[in-house]
Structure 1
Amino acid sequence: MSTPQRPRNQQAAFTRPGAVDLSALKQPAAPGPGAGADAAGGGAPGGGVVGAYTVQVDEQNFQQLLEQSMTAPVLLSFYSPTRAPASVGLADDLQSLADEFEGKFLLGRVDIDAVPQIAQAAAQAMQAQALPLVALVAQGRPMPLFEDAPPLEELRTGLTQVFQQLATQGFTGRHQPRSAAPAGESDSDEPPLDPRYAPAQNALEANDLDGAVAEYQKLVDANPADAEAAGGLAMAKVLQRTQGVNLQTARESAASAPDDVDAQTLVADLDMLGGHVEDAFNRLIEVIRRTADADRDRARNHLIGLFAAVGNDDPRVLAARRGLASALF
C-alpha cells in the first residue's frame, strides 16, 4: 500500500523492507505461578476482545494472536493516545474495516503505553519508531504495511489489494468472529461465518486440492455469480496444477519452447503462487499475441481463469485486460 508523505518530523521513515522476524515478541507459552484463569482467558477466543474481529493486545494473548496468523491474516495496529492521537483514529478505522471484511483479517490493537515491552520489541524487529504503525502477519511471517493515517477509503482499497494478493498465493483462510458480548451473555448460538465456504477451506487446509476444487465447483455451479467462490475455484485449480512441479525444470521448459502453451501456462501458474501476478499475466498475453486458433484460445481461457483468482476489480487485472484486448485485436 502506498502512503502519503509524512509532513511532520518523525524518527525512522517507515519503508517496506519485506518480512521481518517478530519471534522476539512472543511470550512464553506457559503461564507463571498465579496466572491461572487470566492467562488462559487471554488465550481463549474471548480474551482481550473489543470487537467481532478485534483483540486488545496484552502480554497474555499476544503469542496466540501471532499463532492465529497461520490460518488467516492478522494486522497489528500500534498506537498511543498521548504521543500520536492520529494513531488512535487509524486503529478505530481498522477496527471498522475488520468488521466489514468479516474475518479476512483479525486486528490486534497495541497500545504502546500499556504494553511497552511488546512495542519496544516490535520497533526493534521492524526497525520502525514512528507512529502510526501497522504490520501484517501472515502464516507467521510479519511484514510492515504502512505508517501515517490514510483516509478510510484508501485503507479499504489498500487492504483489499493486500488480501487479493495473499489469495493468489493460496492464503484464503478466515477468522471466526470473537464474542464481544457483555458478561453473562452468550453468543454460542451465533452461526459460523460463511459456512458455504467451510468444506472448501477445510480441504485446502488439509492439502486436499482435488477436494477443494470439487467443493468450490459445487458453489459455482449453484451460483455462477458468486465471485468469491469463482475466485476460490480458480486459485484451487492453480494449486492443483502446480502440485509437485519443480520450478526450475518448468522454467527451463518454458524458455526452450516459448510458444508451447502448456509450458507457458504452467510457469504463469507458478508466478501467481510466487506473488508475481503481473509477470504471469504478461507471459500469457505475449503467448496470445504469438499464437493462433486453438492454442490462442487455450492461453486466453487460462489467463481469464487467473483473472478470477486475483479478482476482476484488481488494478492489475484491469491493466491486463487492456493488454489482452491489444493482443487479440
Structure 2
Amino acid sequence: MTQTPDPAGARGAVDLSAVAAMTTPGAATAGDGASAGPVPGQPAPAAPAQRAVPDGLVVEVTPATLQQALTRTVNVAGLLVLWSSSHPQTRQLIDTVAAVAARQEGRVLVLTADLSGHPELLQAFQPLLVQAFGQPTVPATFGLLQGQPVPLFPGIADEQQVGQAVEQLLQAAVQNGITGRVDLGPVPGGDADEEEAVSPLHEAAYEAIERGDLTAAAQAYEQAIAADASDEDARLGLAQVRLMERTQGVDLNAARAAAAADPADVEAACVVADLDVLGGHVEDAFTRLVDLVRTSAGDERDRARTHLLGLFDVVGAHDERVRKGRTALMSALF
C-alpha cells in the first residue's frame, strides 16, 4: 500500500496530543462552535470547481454511527478521513478525497470523523493513529477493507497523491473480493446490461448491512449458501456478519482485562481475537488463538481451533496472513 511519510514532516498535519490530554468522553472541545465542518450524518460538500459529489458518497460519522458505518465497508471499499474542527485547515483534505472518490462511480465510500468535535472518537482512534504514524496526527487518511483500517497517509495531500492511494486501495479490495458500490443512482452514460449481475440474496444481504440489520443479512447469506453450496462470496459474507454480531456492544477494555486475567480462558480469548480482527490486528488475533491451541487440550483446544478457522474465513483464504496462520495452526496441532 501507500508509503506513509513521517508525521513531523507531513504537510498540514496537526498533533492532537494536547487535545487528547484535555478531553474526556462527552466533553466539548474549545473552538468547536466556530467550526465550519459538515453536519454529522450529512454528506460533506465538494470543493469549488470540482466534480459534484453525489449524495451518500461522503458521510460524517459520530460515536453512535461509527459501527454501522464500518459495517458498510464489508462490501464496499472505504476511505476514513480523520480531521479536527479545532483546526479548520485539516478539513481541506475532505474536499480533496471527496473529489477523487466522486470519479470512482461508487466504488469507494468516504467516512469522515471530527476528533475534536467527538472526544469519544479521539479516544477510539488515538491508538490507531499512534500505531500508524507515531503520534495522534490529523488530518490522517486510512483505507477500510471489511471494517479493517489500512494506513494510507498523514497530513494534507493533493489530488494526484490521493488518487494513487485510492487506486492501490481498490486493487487490494478486488483481491479480497470487495467489489460492491455505494448506491448513487443511475450513472450517466452507463450501460446496465454491462454491469455484473448481483444475486437477489446477495443484494438483500448488502441492503440489510447498510441499514444495520445483521440478522437479516445473515439470513440472506444462509439462503444463498443453501441454494449454492459453492457460493464462496456468501460464505465469506456470512462469516463477516457473524463476527460483527459477536462484537456488537462488547466493551473492549473489559474484554482485554478478562483475557489478561486468565490467559487459559478460551471464551475470553475468542472475544479479544474477534475484536482484534475487527480492529485490523489480524496477526495478533491469529497468534493468540494459535498459542491457545498449543497450550490447551480437549474441548477447549477444539473450541480455540474452531474459532480460529472461523476467523480465517472472515479474513479470506487469499490473504497472506491466513496462509501463515494455517501453517502456524498445523504446527501447533502436530
* Same fold by TM-score greater than 0.5: yes
Correspondence list, 1:166-315, <5 A: 174-176=181-183, 179-182=186-189, 194=198, 195-315=200-320
- How far off its partner does 1:24 sit? 5.9
- How far off its partner does 1:245 sit? 2.4
Aligned residue type for 2:181:
R
- How far off its partner does 1:14 sit? 7.7
- How far off its partner does 1:211 sit? 2.3
Distance 1:284 1:295 in 2: 11
Structure 1 pair 58–280 and aligned structure 2 pair: CA distance change class (3 A): same
User: Which sections of structure 2, spanning at least 5 residues, go unmatched?
Assistant: 17-34, 62-68, 81-99, 111-136
1:145 matched residue in structure 2: 152
What SS does the aligned partner of 2:181 have? coil
Distance 1:268 1:201 in 2: 25
2:50 matched residue in structure 1: 58
Distance 2:49 2:150 in 1: 18
Structure 1 pair 232–68 and aligned structure 2 pair: CA distance change class (3 A): farther
User: Which sections of structure 1, spanning at least 5 residues, go unmatched?
Assistant: 6-11, 31-42, 49-55, 77-93, 108-124, 129-133
Q: 1:318 aligns with which of 306, 318, 323?
A: 323
Structure 1 pair 163–256 and aligned structure 2 pair: CA distance change class (3 A): farther
Distance 2:286 2:175 in 1: 15
- How far off its partner does 1:309 sit? 0.8
Does the aligned pair in 1 maintain the 2:79–2:108 contact within 8 Å?
yes
Does the aligned pair in 2 maintain the 1:203–1:209 contact within 8 Å?
yes
Answering whether residue 74 of structure 2 is matched by residue 67 of structure 1, we say no
Structure 1 pair 248–65 and aligned structure 2 pair: CA distance change class (3 A): closer
2:133 matched residue in structure 1: none
- How far off its partner does 1:63 sit? 7.2
What SS does the aligned partner of 1:265 have? helix
Structure 1 pair 144–57 and aligned structure 2 pair: CA distance change class (3 A): farther
Deviations 1:59-82, CA, capped at 9 Å, x for gaps: 753775423995554569xxxxxx
Distance 2:326 2:218 in 1: 25
Deviations 1:81-136, CA, capped at 9 Å, x for gaps: xxxxxxxxxxxxx99x958xxx54269xxxxxxxxxxxxxxxxx9679xxxxx975
What SS does the aligned partner of 1:145 have? strand
Aligned residue type for 1:145:
L
- How far off its partner does 1:298 sit? 1.8
Distance 1:288 1:164 in 2: 30
Does the aligned pair in 1 maintain the 2:57–2:182 contact within 8 Å?
no
Aligned residues: 251
RMSD after superposition: 5.4
2:108 matched residue in structure 1: 105
Does the aligned pair in 2 maintain the 1:16–1:144 contact within 8 Å?
no
Distance 1:277 1:15 in 2: 31
- How far off its partner does 1:204 sit? 2.5
Structure 1 pair 166–313 and aligned structure 2 pair: CA distance change class (3 A): closer
Structure 1 pair 163–252 and aligned structure 2 pair: CA distance change class (3 A): farther
Distance 2:55 2:305 in 1: 45
Identity %: 38
Does the aligned pair in 1 maintain the 2:276–2:284 contact within 8 Å?
yes
1:83 matched residue in structure 2: none
Does the aligned pair in 1 maintain the 2:79–2:142 contact within 8 Å?
yes
Aligned residue type for 1:284:
L
Deviations 1:224-269, CA, capped at 9 Å, x for gaps: 3322211111111112222232222222222222222222111111
